[in-house]
Amino acid sequence: MLIKFGNLNMAQFATAVGADFTPEELGFLESRRSSNAAVTDPNGFHIFDDPCISITIGSEAVSGRVAEAFKAANARKPFSREVTFYPSSKEAK
């Protein structure tokens, strides 16, 4: 069993990993971030921080603009910690 805790917002995530997001990326990502750990929006995601930083991400977000924003920030300045992305298994059908 894997238990994860946390509900980081984008500003907290950026600080935790030393990320360099543009204001536009931060605003967009925050608009897609879910406070609910069970991600039901295929374009959404949730950020956990314990026991490690991990992101549960919807099926559309993983290959769309959400993923591209995370990749762009990491390309500008590599994250200082490992960030793992997991596909959501709770999406609304």
The amino acid present at 43, given as its one-letter code, is N
Model pLDDT, residue 58: 95
Q: Which pLDDT belongs to residue 1?
A: 74
Q: How far apart (Å, rounded) are the C-alpha atoms in residues 27 and 87?
A: 22
Q: How would you write the pLDDT of the chain (93 residues) with one tens digit per residue?
A: 778 999 999 999 999 999 999 999 999 999 999 999 999 999 999 999 998 999 999 999 999 999 999 999 999 999 999 999 999 987 765
User: Three-state DSSP class for 62?
Assistant: helix
For position 93, what pLDDT does the model report? Answer: 58
pLDDT at res. 92: 67
Find the length of the chain.
93
Per-residue pLDDT at 90? 76
Q: Please tell me the pTM assigned to this model.
A: 0.91
